[in-house]
Each structure stands twice: as structure tokens, then as C-alpha cells.
Structure 1
Amino acid sequence: MRFTLRQISVFVAVARHENVSRAAAELALSQSATSTALAEIERQYDTQLFDRFGKMLRLNELGQALLPQAVELIERAAAIESALEGRAGYGKLRIGATLTIGNYLATLIVADFLKRHPESTLQLSVHNTATIIDQLARHELDLGLIEGSCRHPDLIVEPWVADELVVFCAPGHPLAEQGRASLATLAEQAWIVREPGSGTRETLDQALRHQHFALQIRLELEHTEAIKRAVEFGLGIGCISRLALREAFRRGSLVAIETPELDLRRHFHFLWHGRKFQTAGMREFVALCRTMTTGIERSDQIQWSLIP
């Protein structure tokens, strides 16, 4: 076998960053050593794994085919090293979560995971659905927890738990006393909504796809907490997950507006690359997620006391 694990590690890092300098920084190598290792493996097999565009490198067809196998090889080698050194745990696990899941559920599961497996390390990245999908496709994450849909051909999607969006307003808003609104009434309102690319925005747009009006969007924000604050200040009405609103509803700082004509139901999903090696850490994390939602019909019904 003519290649080394170091060369494979360099190949994986360069593939993720599409840049030798950033790959070198990740691997704690010099830029020269990183370039040399990549050049050696291409020279040894008289092939190219990347197309070069100045300092930018893009995986070619062969590189794309080899990347999942290379990632799996590195992960298996790390597991063997841990076993030989007598270290417990699952090594490093890279989780990506969309905002509602990341802010209200994932941190609790992460805490439980690390308490159970203190020798492990975990990286949690919180972004919108489109970003999580892109990072998984590029092998920058091991596992994704998303609110939106995914049609990427290389990714596996499994349902987790049902969720539902709800339209809401400030207590002083004219709709607060009514507690419900028709489509005609909704069309007259100023809206505070999530940005395109988010699962929440996708669900709202999907619910409105057959309606003959466009929302009067006053403000687009990337964070659910920012939307809640803007609605509390009276800037308009919003629509986010009931999970993110249940404490505000309990306090009375925000008020739910029922919208019988809109179907705002959706699911949270697990997501991973179809050609990725399923590590024990990934399986354990998914199992903890499913334990959290056992017997639960919808995400906002989860009781924090269910978390060990």
C-alpha cells in the first residue's frame, strides 16, 4: 500500500476547505508539508484528485468518489488508536442543527451525551437548513438535525419528531383578543419572518403556496429569538415553532393566533451522508434524541424533566 494515513488526512482536509493554507492550519502542519503530502499521493498514482483554480482547489470526479472512503478510513483509524491506547468514548462528533432544534433541544442532548461519555468531544454548529445540508454534503459534519426538507441525492433523511409552526403576535396587537385569523386578515398584516433557506420559512411558504396573496414582509431575521423580540415590540406578527414559543405563551408576553386555513405541520429530521461510515458515536447520539421524544406527539410537548 503506497499511500499513508497522513496523506489521506491531508487529502480530506484539503477537500473540506478547498484551500491548502486552511487545511494546513487544521492539521497543524506547515503549508509546504501539506502541499507536499497532497502532491505525493497524486504523483504516486499518476492522477489528480483536484481541479486547480489559482489557490482554490475543487474535487474532481475521482476525488469526489474517494472522499467518503477516505473519511471513513481516517475515522476507523482514530477508533483503532483509541482502543490501543485504552481510551474510552467515541472520539470527536460533529453535529449540525438548525436554529429551533439547536437552541431548544440539541444543547440538552449534547449535555446528556457528554455526561454519559466524558472521554468524547462534540462540536455543535447551528445554522439554517440549507447550510447544514451543504456542510453534510461536503463531509464537514457527521450528523444533521434539521427542520426543513432535504432533496440532496447523497444524503439520507430519517424522521425524528413532529413539529408545528404557529402564527403569533404581541398582547397589545388587535389580533391578540380574537385569537384566530382568516387568510384575508393575515394578508393585511406586517410580517416578521425567517430568511429564505431556513426550514421555518420553507414550511410557511409551502403552507401559502396555493393562496392568492403574498405576505407583507416587513423584516427578515436569521434568529427565532430576534423574531420574538421584534413581535413583542409591535413591529408585526410572526410564525415560528411552537417549541420556541411555549415559554413566551406561558408568560403571556406573546399570544398565539390560530390559523385553521393554514397547514403549518412539519417534522424534524436526522440527516447524514449516504456514503459515510456510521460511527458508534453517531448511533448513540441518535438514540439519545429518540429517547427524548419517546411517547411525544409533537416537539413542544417535550418536558425538560425527561432529560436525564
Structure 2
Amino acid sequence: MRYTFRQLEVFVAVARTQNITQAARSLAMSQSAASSALRELETQFDTQLFDRVGKRLQLNELGRLFRPKVESLLSQGRDLEQALSEHTDLGALNVGATLTIGNYLAVDIMADYMKNRPESRVSLQVANTENIVRRVREFELDIGLIEGELQARDLDVIPWRPDELVVFCAPDHPLARKDALSDDDLRDADWIMREPGSGTRQTFERGMHGLLPDLNLALELEHTEAIKHAVEARLGIGCLSRVCLEDAFQRGRFVELSTPEHRQFDRQFYFILHKQKYRSAGIDRWIELCRALDR
């Protein structure tokens, strides 16, 4: 074999950081050793994988072509190393989830994942849809769980479970006394909403087609709990997943508002994986447990 895994690790680290010093630091090696490894990789195959732009090393077309293959090979190598050292076929798993899924579903799934295999390591990163998609693309995450619609040629987007958004308010809000809201009610209300780039915001805007320019977005917040507190304080009405409101509805903290029938807020949760990503036993087990949550 004409290349080493260390050379491939340096290649990927430089691709991510675009800087040899930062790449070396992330791999706990000296800058000269990292430079030598990258230079040897390119020399052995008489090729150039990066364009040198000042102090930055930017992937060229050939480098972008090979990066997914290298990421997949390194992932398989790490899984094999984990299995050999710990005698397990699951290994470490890096999961990303959007806020609704991460805060209300993923923790229970993680507990089930680790229950029978306590030696397994799971890292859960919670962010909005836009960030999770980017990190799956960059191979920073093994699998993503998202709540937004997505079309991406480089990713496998696999349906998981249905969901719906619900419009809600505090029990003493004036709209709580109405049997059903009209479009005029929606237009006149103060809204407490998730930020652009989130799957929740995407579904809300689709459901509010034709009204968006007239809506009063009083607050845009990145966290569902912050939105719930703002709605509870009567700063406005909100629109969030039923998953994160069920308990609050049961305790009488909020009132669900009935919206016009032509306002549809249904959506789907999805798994996303890079098409070049090696499907380890850990990934398959995670998907299996997610699907079992609905049974």
C-alpha cells in the first residue's frame, strides 16, 4: 500500500481547517510532521490535492473528488480499530439532532443504545437543521436527525416519522377564548418564532404561505424552551412541534389554537447520512432504535 492512514488523516484535517498548523494541532503532531505527511502523499501519486492561497490550503477539484472516499476509508478503519481493541461491533457514534428531536427524543434513544452496550460511546450534538446538514456533509457527524425538508445529491435522506407543528398561546391570552382562528387573527397576532435555518421555521413559513409579509414576528429565538417561556409571559403566540408541547398541554400551561384548515403544518422527521459514509453496525443500531420508538 502506497499511503498510510496517518497521511490520509492529515489530508482530511487540512481539508477541514485549510491550515496546516491547525490540522497538526488537531492530530497532536508537529507542523513539520504534518507537512511532510501531506507532501509525501501528493508526491507518491504525483498529484496535487490543494491549491495554496496565501497561508490557506484550499481543496482543488481533485481533492474534493477524493475527500468523501478518504473519509469513508478512515471511518471504516476507526470502526475496525474500535472493534479490535474493545471487542465490540458498535464502537463510537457521533450523532447530530435538531433542537426538537435532540431535546425531546434523542436522549431516550441514546439511553437505549447504551443500555445493553455500556462500553459504547455516543456523542450527541444539538443544533438547527442547517448546521446538522453542514456537519454531516463535512463528515463531522455519522448520522443526523432533522426536522426540515432537504434535497441534497450528496446525502441520503431517509424518512423516519411524521410530526406536526401546533399554534399555541398562554391560557389567559385573548386568542385562547376563540374556537378557531381566522387568517386575520394570524395576521394580527404577535409571533414568537424559531430562527431562519431551522426546520420548524421552514414548516411554519410553508404553512403560512400568502401571509408571511404581513405577520408580526415579535421575537426570533433559537431554543424551544425560550419560546415557551416567552409565550407563557404573553409576549405573543408560538408555533412548535407537538412533540415538545404535549406535556405542557396536559398540565394546562398552554392552549392549542385551531388554525384554518388550509393552513397545514404537518412534516416529516428524517435521517441523513453522507452517501460516501460507511454504514457501521452502530449507525444501523441507532436507526433501529429510532424506529422502535414509534412502535
**TM-score, normalized by length of structure 2?**
0.94
Distance 1:172 1:72 in 2: 54
Taking structure 1 as reference, are residues 85 and 130 closer, same or farther at Cα in structure 2, changes over 3 Å only?
closer
In the alignment, residue 181 of structure 2 is paired with which amino acid?
A
**SS of alignment partner, residue 120 of structure 1:** coil
Aligned-pair distance for 1:142?
Answer: 1.0
Q: State the partner residue of 2:293.
A: 292
Q: State the partner residue of 1:267.
A: 268
Distance 1:134 1:78 in 2: 22
Aligned-pair distance for 1:98?
Answer: 0.4
Residue 187 of structure 2 contacts residue 215 of structure 2 at CA under 8 Å; is this kept in 1? yes
Q: State the partner residue of 2:186.
A: 186
**SS of alignment partner, residue 29 of structure 1:** coil
In the alignment, residue 192 of structure 1 is paired with which amino acid?
I
Q: How many percent of aligned residue pairs carry the same amino acid?
A: 51
Distance 1:278 1:2 in 2: 26
Q: State the partner residue of 1:67.
A: 67
**SS of alignment partner, residue 159 of structure 2:** strand
Distance 2:212 2:25 in 1: 52
List per-residue Cα deviations over 1:189-222 (Å, max 9, x = no partner): 1111011100000001111224475210011001
List per-residue Cα deviations over 1:156-200 (Å, max 9, x = no partner): 111100000011111110011224311111100111101110000
- Please identify, of 112-121 and 187-196, the stretch whose mean Cα deviation from structure 2 is larger: 112-121
In the alignment, residue 151 of structure 1 is paired with which amino acid?
Q
**SS of alignment partner, residue 214 of structure 2:** coil
Q: State the partner residue of 2:3.
A: 3
- Please identify, of 239-248 and 15-24, the stretch whose mean Cα deviation from structure 2 is larger: 15-24
Distance 1:21 1:92 in 2: 27
1:218-233 matched pairs, under 5 angstroms: 218-233=218-233
Taking structure 1 as reference, are residues 91 and 14 closer, same or farther at Cα in structure 2, changes over 3 Å only?
farther
Q: State the partner residue of 1:53.
A: 53
Residue 51 of structure 2 contacts residue 57 of structure 2 at CA under 8 Å; is this kept in 1? yes
Distance 1:103 1:183 in 2: 31
1:1-308 matched pairs, under 5 angstroms: 1-85=1-85, 87-211=87-211, 213-259=213-259, 260-294=261-295
Residue 187 of structure 1 contacts residue 213 of structure 1 at CA under 8 Å; is this kept in 2? no
Q: State the partner residue of 1:306.
A: none
Taking structure 1 as reference, are residues 108 and 20 closer, same or farther at Cα in structure 2, changes over 3 Å only?
farther
Distance 1:179 1:216 in 2: 22
Taking structure 1 as reference, are residues 286 and 222 closer, same or farther at Cα in structure 2, changes over 3 Å only?
same
Distance 1:91 1:212 in 2: 46
| Pairs aligned (count) | 294
Distance 1:110 1:55 in 2: 41
Aligned-pair distance for 1:119?
Answer: 2.1
Residue 191 of structure 1 contacts residue 237 of structure 1 at CA under 8 Å; is this kept in 2? yes
Distance 2:78 2:255 in 1: 51
Aligned-pair distance for 1:76?
Answer: 2.1
Residue 187 of structure 2 contacts residue 211 of structure 2 at CA under 8 Å; is this kept in 1? no
List per-residue Cα deviations over 1:213-244 (Å, max 9, x = no partner): 52100110011110000111111011010111
In the alignment, residue 10 of structure 1 is paired with which amino acid?
V
**SS of alignment partner, residue 162 of structure 2:** strand
**TM-score, normalized by length of structure 1?**
0.90
**SS of alignment partner, residue 32 of structure 1:** helix
**SS of alignment partner, residue 245 of structure 2:** helix
In the alignment, residue 227 of structure 1 is paired with which amino acid?
I
What stretches of structure 1 of length at least 5 have no aligned partner? 295-308
Aligned-pair distance for 1:96?
Answer: 0.8
